[in-house]
Structure 1
Amino acid sequence: MIVQLLEVRGIRHVALIDAAGGIVSSAGAGSDISVVQAGRAVIGSLQAALGQTGWQDLLLDVGDGPILLTPHGDQVLLTAFDDVASLGRIRFAVRRLLS
């Protein structure tokens, strides 16, 4: 399923991470998945501070390049790609896959 995202220009790695931080599925050149747990912590803090319950995605621009975290039930899809300028194309592909 998620391997299809590698066909989108610019995507280097995708991984579906469960609530415990384990890899459900992954494809492409690996990236550090520990960013998912840190991202979840940031999202939890922001939700508490803002009184919100849901989130759509979180973009992190780290040393290896941008990473998009997208919720999918209790899992998170990590999408590592080459350039922030590709964000619109990446979001479209991720939402199309997850819908």
Structure 2
Amino acid sequence: MDQIIQNRVRIKLKTYENELLIRSCSNIIHTISKTETKILGPISMPTRRKIYCVLRSPHVDKDSREHFEIRIYTKIIDVYKPSSKTIDALMKLNIPSGVDIEVKI
């Protein structure tokens, strides 16, 4: 069990746009599958919502408010026993600017 955990690379992707996340995941999976490495994912994590409440007018009508929501979409991809070719292919990969990537070894 320890050997499997040590030989794993976890890629965590976060973004505000769901379509951008799906395209990035498919691009990563396509690149990894060329190097014939075992992958698990993409695993969808629960969508996080941040809700902001703003007063419509600064002085009067305290009951009149607007709510704004930001959704954060997250997916995880696990790569088991990556070779040097796999890591090089991941480093050269072009990913859109709206996607945040965390890589844990």
Relative to the length of structure 2, the TM-score reads: 0.27
Of structures 1 and 2, the larger Rg is shown by 2
Identify the structure with the greater helix proportion. Answer: 1
Identify the structure with the greater strand proportion. Answer: 2
